[in-house]
């Protein structure tokens, strides 16, 4: 019998301070740029204030990409465009700086950390810092057997919690979360279908590496069979992860929940991180307030999960590669929101009652408010002008290693 009860997180995660949110909204009303002119950037600034419990928002400079890696036994059914037991190839591509997430992280000067929770490969193939956390080698085939034992699921959840504590204690401001897996989207679709009470065909997508119709039908059948095994254990999130999840998914769930406990904001990537977040929400309904959906991955299961958690993706650019890539692309937007919320001046009123140059009336004095070049143009901010943090660190040189995520299938 496990000593870990995920429902306990409901008491550990503090309710966001409504006073901080209200103070952030009041500060926004006082800024020179009119409310609403910055669109979603305003909302992100208030989200960061609540997550940080700080007004004005603190800079988001110390960011880390964290990728959980694992192989899934269900991939042996040829439900993925990638061969079974090949997730270590994705890990190696990140370590060598050749994957999209590694290229972007290097460009932004961000460290990438890879956590091997359940790769099915010889540990000697990868650096010790990557493989030292491994819970087990691969997982069971979830359509006919449990992915993990309950003890292994608990070990994986505790691993994720420990990684979250390490990141929070090291001063990380925000985490970009992704996965490196083969077969992971099949397990993720099963978890989401079980928790949303829907059928396999509704949640089965084509993965980061697109599959043809025949492979999709095999994948859908695997989700259907796994779903039959998942439904009887819906009342216990840990047992659910053991039955149809996997070591990487269990670790990500623990990571997300502990990040919420530590008030460490997380940007989610694709369907795998969304599935883990949904399991986390089932355990602690306030947990998603620390999470941001980075992008639309194109997976129907992701859309179901985000809708259930009331999370609206920041970007929709058709990026399906996974590996945390879409979430990383959302980061400059979040950093822009933080900078604008903290650094834009507040309105000042001159003696004659006309607002300063940053205000609405000041903008109108420079042009006709009713014309396209008038107040609206002067008020609009350009988040693209806020350059992302660039510390110059090479993702491939990090001690913990970089990683590649949601493209698992």
Residue 293 vs residues 57, 121, 193, 223, 355: alpha-carbon distances, Å: 19, 31, 19, 24, 37
Distance of CA 229 to the CA centre of its chain: 27
* 323 catalytic per annotation: yes
DSSP letter (8 states) at residue 295 = B
CB distance 32 to 344 below 8 Å: yes
Closest CA to 278 of 320, 232, 240: 240
Separation of alpha carbons 12 and 125, rounded Å: 39
Q: Catalytic residue among 323, 343, 355, 409, which?
A: 323
Active site residues: 323
């Amino acid at each position: 019998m496990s000593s870990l009860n995920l429902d306990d997180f409901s008491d550990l995660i503090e309710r966001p301070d409504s006073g901080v949110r209200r103070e952030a909204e009041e500060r926004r009303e006082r800024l020179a740029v009119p409310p609403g002119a910055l669109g979603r950037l305003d909302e992100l600034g208030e989200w960061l204030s609540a997550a940080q419990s700080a007004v004005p928002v603190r800079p988001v400079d110390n960011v880390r990409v964290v990728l959980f890696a694992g192989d899934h036994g269900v991939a042996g059914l040829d439900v993925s465009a990638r061969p079974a037991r090949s997730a270590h190839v994705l890990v190696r591509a990140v370590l060598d700086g050749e994957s999209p997430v590694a290229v972007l992280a290097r460009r932004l000067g961000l460290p990438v950390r890879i956590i091997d929770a359940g790769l099915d490969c010889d540990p000697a193939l990868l650096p010790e810092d990557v493989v030292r956390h491994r819970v087990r080698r691969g997982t069971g085939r979830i359509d006919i057997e449990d992915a993990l034992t309950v003890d292994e699921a608990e070990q994986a959840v505790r691993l994720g919690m420990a990684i979250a504590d390490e990141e929070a204690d090291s001063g990380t401001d925000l985490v970009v979360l992704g996965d490196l897996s083969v077969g992971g989207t099949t397990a993720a679709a099963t978890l989401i279908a079980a928790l949303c009470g829907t059928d396999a065909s509704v949640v089965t997508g084509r993965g980061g590496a697109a599959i043809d119709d025949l492979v999709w039908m095999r994948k859908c059948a695997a989700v259907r069979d796994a779903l039959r095994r998942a439904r009887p254990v819906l009342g216990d999130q840990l047992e659910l992860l053991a039955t149809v999840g996997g070591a990487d998914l269990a670790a990500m769930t623990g990571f997300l929940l502990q990040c919420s406990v530590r008030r460490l904001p997380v940007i989610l990537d694709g369907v795998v991180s969304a599935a883990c977040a949904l399991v986390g929400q089932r355990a602690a309904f306030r947990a998603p307030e620390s999470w941001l959906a980075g992008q639309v991955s194109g997976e129907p299961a992701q859309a179901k999960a985000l809708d259930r958690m009331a999370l609206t993706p920041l970007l929709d650019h058709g990026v399906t590669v996974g590996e945390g890539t879409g979430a990383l692309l959302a980061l400059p937007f979040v950093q822009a929101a933080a900078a604008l919320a903290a650094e834009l001046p507040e309105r000042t009123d001159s003696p004659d009652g006309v607002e300063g140059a940053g205000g609405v009336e000041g903008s109108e004095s420079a042009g006709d408010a009713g014309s396209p070049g008038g107040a609206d143009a002067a008020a609009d901010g350009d988040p693209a002008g806020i350059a992302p943090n660039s510390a110059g660190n090479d993702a491939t040189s990090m001690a913990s290693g970089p990683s590649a995520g949601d493209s698992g299938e």
